[in-house]
Chains A and B, each alone.
Chain A
Amino acid sequence: MTSQKLYAKTVVSIGLCMVTALVIIHLILNSMGAKEQGVFGRVAQSRAALSKIVKEPDDLVMFFGSSMTRAGFSPRQFDANLAESGINTMSFNYGFGGLNPYFQDFLSRRIVENLEDNGRRLKLTMIEFNPFQTTTTRWDRANTVLDAYSSFLMSDSELLDMALQDITQGVRLFNIKYLRNDISAEMFTTYWGRELFPSNVRRTFRNDKETRAERNRLRKLLSEQFDKEYPNYVDAQWSYEWRGGGTIPHERPAETLALFDAYYDVSQTDASMKNDRLGRIRSADIEELHFEPLLVEHFINIVKNFQRVSDNLEVIMLPKNSKWINTTPEAEKRLAEAVKQIEQATGITMTNHQNLPEITSNMYSDTTHLSRYRGGVAYTDYLLEQYVGVFDR
C-alpha cells in the first residue's frame, strides 16, 4: 500500500468515526434540553426576544443586572403605573442570576447591536452594579459555565479575537459553538453530576420541624391559589417570561396576599438567614469584597455599551440587607475605589440605593434578594418615583 492510499484510508475511517460520534452527541445534546433550562434558558430566551423587543411601539425601558434585579424590579408593575399617568412604556427585566459582568458584557453587546441595527434606543436604562457579583470568589466559581456561556454569548469576531490571544481556548469555543450546540463538556457533566455530586449546601443552622412544615404548607397553598386565580396561565401568551413579567400584587385577592405575608415570615427565620449569609460569604465574598479587576473592567464595558443606545442611563447599587450583611471597613474602602474607577471610566455618577429608608429588612426573601411581593413592589414604586421625570423629556 502506498503512503497516499494508507493515509487516505486512515483519514476517511477515523474521520467517519468522529463524524458519527459527533452526530450522536448532537442528537443527545439537543434532546436533553440543557440549554432550555435555568439561567442558560432564560438568557437564551432573552437573547432570542431581542428581535421582538425592537418591534415594540412604546418607549423601551430596561433594567439590566443580576438576580437581585430579577427579584427587585417588576416591569409589569412599572408599565402599569406609568400607563395610569398616560405614559406608554414597555419595560424589561434583564436580571440574571449567576451571570457575572464578564458574561453580562457580551450579552449587553448583543442587545446594543440589535437596537442599533434596528434604529431603536432605550428611553431609560438602569444598570445594576452588584458588588458581590464582581469579586474574585465569584469569578472563580464561574469556571464550569465559562466555556458554554462564552461561546453562546460571544460573536464570531469576538471568538476570533479570543483565538488570536489564546489559540487553545479560541478553538475550543468555536468547537463548542458550532459542533456542540453551545453545551460544553463541563456543562454536560455538571448537569448530570448534580444528582451524584450534590453541591455542598451546608446547613449549619437548622429550622425547627414546625417551621419547615409550615413553610411547605404555605408554599403548597400559594401554588394552589395560583392555579385557581390563573386557570389558563400560559407564560408566553399571558406575559413574556423573558421580560421578567410575573404576576403582580394588584391582581391578587387579599387572601393570597395574606398567604404571601405568612410565607415570607416563615421563610426569613434566623436559621435560614444565617445559612444564606454563610453561603454568600463562601460563594461571593460578600462581606470582604475582594474585587476581581477583570470583572470591574467588564462592568465598565457594560455601561459604555448601553451609553450608545440610551437616552437616560442610571448605574445603581440595589438595596442591601444590612441587617444580615455587614461589609467590613476594608470592604467599604475597596467598594468606594471600585465605584470611583467605574465613575471615572464612564462619566456616570453611580446611584446608591443600598440603604433606602423605603426598603426595610422584612422586605427581603433572603440576605440579598428582595421578596417579590414585598420588596420588589416597594422598590419598583420607588424607581418609578425617581425616574418618572425622564418620560416627560
Chain B
Amino acid sequence: MIFNTPLFFWFFSIFILFYGFVFLKQTARVYLILVGSLIFYGAWNYSFIPLLVGSAVADYFIAQAIFNASSKQGKKSWLILSLAINLGLLGLFKYADFVLVSASELLAAVGYNASIPTLSWVLPVGISFYTFQSLSYTIDVYRGDMKPRKGLAEFVAALSFFPQLVAGPILRARNILGQMHAITLPKWSAVKHGFLLITVGLIKKTGADLLAFPAQKAFEADGAVSTLELWTGVIAFAGQIYGDFSGYTDMAIGLALILGFNIPLNFRVPYFALSPVDFWRRWHISLSTWLRDYLYISLGGNKHGHRTRNVFITMLLGGLWHGAAWTFVAWGAFHGAIITATHYLANMPIFSAFNQSHSRLVTFVKWAVTFYLVLIGWVFFRATDLTSALDIIVNLHVFNSETIGGNNAFTIFVMTSVWVLLVHIIDFYVIKGADKLEDRPWVFWLLMVLGQGICLLIGEPSNEFIYFQF
C-alpha cells in the first residue's frame, strides 16, 4: 500500500475513524496501530507478515536477555544472536543472489565456468528499514543506553508503525517506544502541520514521477543523446530521487503527526549543501546518523587515525544498504572518496581560508562543486551497470549536440532545474516558516486545496516509491 494511492486514502480514512472515535484508551490504540500496521504491510504481501513480526519478537526477547545477562560475554553473545538474525535475514533476502552471481562471474573471469544457482527470492518491502530499526534497540540495550521495554504488543506496534514501516525514516527504538508507551493527543496545530507535510510530500512525489521521463531518456536511451539532455537527465534523476524519497518521508512524518507521534526530519534541503560532509548531514539523516552511531563509532570513529578507513567502510556499506548491485557499492565508494578528500583538503593550510570564508562567491563555488559531485554520484546510483555509468560520466563532459528530444531539450532542462530548485525552496519554507502559514487559515486551506488538486490531477499513483526496493 503506497501513501499516494486511493487504497491508502480509504485505509487511513477508516483507520482515523477508529483511532479518533472508537479506540480511545492507550492499550486499545496500541492494538489498533498494530493491527492497522499489519494490514498495511499485508496489503503488499501478507506472507511476509510473520517475518516482520518474528524478527520483532526475537529482538524483544533478546533485548531482555541482554539486559538480564550477568556477564559482559553473555550480553555480547545475545547481541551477536540479534545481529545474526537481523543481518542474516537481510543478507538472505537482499544480498544472497548478489553474492552468488558475483561469485559466479568471478569464477568465470578466472576461467571456471561454474553455474551457481541463485535463490531468486522476493525482497520483503521495507526489510532494510525495519531491520535497522530493530537492531538499534538491541544495540542500545547492550550499550546500556536504554532499558528493555515491557509489553510485547507495544514493541511490535512501534517497530511496525505503518507511517514509517516501509521506507523510513529509520526511527531509533528509544524514540518511538517512548511515544508508543504514552500516546498523546496531538494539538490542532500539529494536525495542520501534518496535513501540510502530506500535501507537500504528495507534490514532491508527483513532480518526481514526472521527472522520471527525462531521467529515463538519458539513462536508458537507445539512440543519440545530447550533452544537454544528459545533464537534464542527471539533474532530473537528482530531483526524482529527492522528491520521491523525501516526499514519502514528509508524508510519513505528516501522518504520524496526525496520530500524535513525532518523527524526526529526514532531509534538510540537501542540494543546498556546501560540502559532501554537509550533504550527508542533510540527506537521509536517519540512515546517516544510524550508520554513524552504530557502524562508524563501532569501527572506532575518528580515533586511532583510522578516520579515512572508517569513513570509507561506512560509506561503502551505506551504498550497499541501498541495493545489492555494484553500482550502489560504487556510489558508496564515490561518496566515501569525496568525504575523505574533503577532510584532507580541509586540513591543508592552502584551503583553510577558503573553507572559512562566507563570501557569496566562495559559498557559490562550494555549493556548485558539491552539487556537481552529488550529481556525478547519482549517475552510479541510477545507471544500469558500472560500464554505462562510466560512459555517461564521460559523455557528460564531451560536447555533443545530437539530440532525441528535438527543440524541447532546452525547455525541459530549464523546467527540470527550476522544479528541483522550487522543491528545495518549498522545503526550506516548510522547515523555517510553516507556522506563519498555518496561522492564516484561509491562505493555508486554499493552498492545501490547490496542492491536493494538482496531485490528484497529475499524480501517477501506479508508480511505486524508489526507496521501496531498498
**Interface residue ranges, A against B (CB under 8 Å):** 1, 3-4, 6-11, 13-14, 17-18, 20-22, 24-25, 28-29, 147, 167-168, 171-172, 174-175, 180, 185-186, 188-189, 192-193, 196-198, 200, 202
Cβ contacts A to B, 12 pairs, < 8 Å: A6-B185, A7-B17, A7-B21, A20-B453, A22-B453, A167-B43, A168-B2, A168-B7, A185-B456, A193-B213, A196-B412, A197-B213
A185 with B406: CB separation less than 8 A: no
Q: How far is the CA of A174 from the CA of B411 in the complex (A)?
A: 36
With A18-B452, A188-B457 as contacts: A3 and B462 at CB distance below 8 Å: no
B223 with A202: CB separation less than 8 A: yes
Number of chain B residues close to chain A: CB under 8 A: 44
Residues of B within 8 A of A188 (CB): 457-458
Residues of A within 8 A of B448 (CB): 17
B407 to chain A, nearest CB (A): 9
Q: How far is the CA of A33 from the CA of B191 in the complex (A)?
A: 37
Residues of B within 8 A of A14 (CB): 195
Among A11, A21, A180, A189, contact of B210 (Cβ-Cβ < 8 Å): A189
With A11-B17, A14-B195, A171-B5 as contacts: A185 and B460 at CB distance below 8 Å: yes
B351 to chain A, nearest CB (A): 43
Closest to A196 in B: B408
Residues of A within 8 A of B6 (CB): 171-172, 174-175
Q: How far is the CA of A8 from the CA of B7 in the complex (A)?
A: 22
Q: Mark B442-470, 1 if CB is under 8 A from A, else 0.
A: 00010011101100111111100000000
Residues of A within 8 A of B20 (CB): 3-4, 6-8, 10-11
Q: Mark B277-301, 1 if CB is under 8 A from A, else 0.
A: 0000000000000000000000000
**Interface residue ranges, B against A (CB under 8 Å):** 1-2, 5-7, 10, 13, 16-17, 19-21, 24, 43, 185-186, 188, 191, 195, 210, 213-214, 223, 258, 404-406, 408, 411-412, 415, 445, 448-450, 452-453, 456-462
Residues of A within 8 A of B10 (CB): 171
Residues of A within 8 A of B415 (CB): 196
A17 with B461: CB separation less than 8 A: no
A3 to chain B, nearest CB (A): 5
A186 with B462: CB separation less than 8 A: yes
Q: How far is the CA of A185 from the CA of B210 in the complex (A)?
A: 11
Q: How far is the CA of A198 from the CA of B412 in the complex (A)?
A: 11
A9 with B185: CB separation less than 8 A: no
Among B19, B213, B456, contact of A22 (Cβ-Cβ < 8 Å): B456
B16 with A7: CB separation less than 8 A: yes
Query: Interface on chain B toward A: helix, strand, loop, or mixed SS?
Result: helix
Among B404, B445, B453, contact of A25 (Cβ-Cβ < 8 Å): B453
B460 with A10: CB separation less than 8 A: no
Residues of A within 8 A of B408 (CB): 196-198
B1 with A168: CB separation less than 8 A: yes
Closest to B24 in A: A3
A168 with B210: CB separation less than 8 A: no
A102 to chain B, nearest CB (A): 16
Q: How far is the CA of A197 from the CA of B448 in the complex (A)?
A: 29
Residues of B within 8 A of A185 (CB): 456-461
Q: How far is the CA of A364 from the CA of B191 in the complex (A)?
A: 64
A24 with B43: CB separation less than 8 A: no
Closest to A198 in B: B406
Apart from A21-B450, A180-B456, A202-B404, what 17 extra A-B contacts exist at CB < 8 Å? A4-B24, A6-B188, A6-B191, A7-B21, A20-B449, A21-B449, A21-B456, A22-B453, A25-B456, A147-B462, A171-B5, A172-B5, A172-B462, A185-B458, A185-B460, A188-B457, A193-B210
Among A4, A9, A10, A168, contact of B43 (Cβ-Cβ < 8 Å): A168
Closest to B17 in A: A11
B453 with A24: CB separation less than 8 A: yes
Residues of A within 8 A of B7 (CB): 167-168, 171-172
B449 with A24: CB separation less than 8 A: yes
Closest 9 CB pairs of A and B: A7-B20, A21-B453, A175-B6, A21-B452, A171-B7, A168-B7, A20-B449, A171-B6, A24-B453
A5 to chain B, nearest CB (A): 9
Residues of A within 8 A of B2 (CB): 168
B402 to chain A, nearest CB (A): 12
Residues of A within 8 A of B213 (CB): 193, 197
A9 with B457: CB separation less than 8 A: no
A10 with B258: CB separation less than 8 A: yes
Q: How far is the CA of A7 from the CA of B457 in the complex (A)?
A: 27
B209 to chain A, nearest CB (A): 8
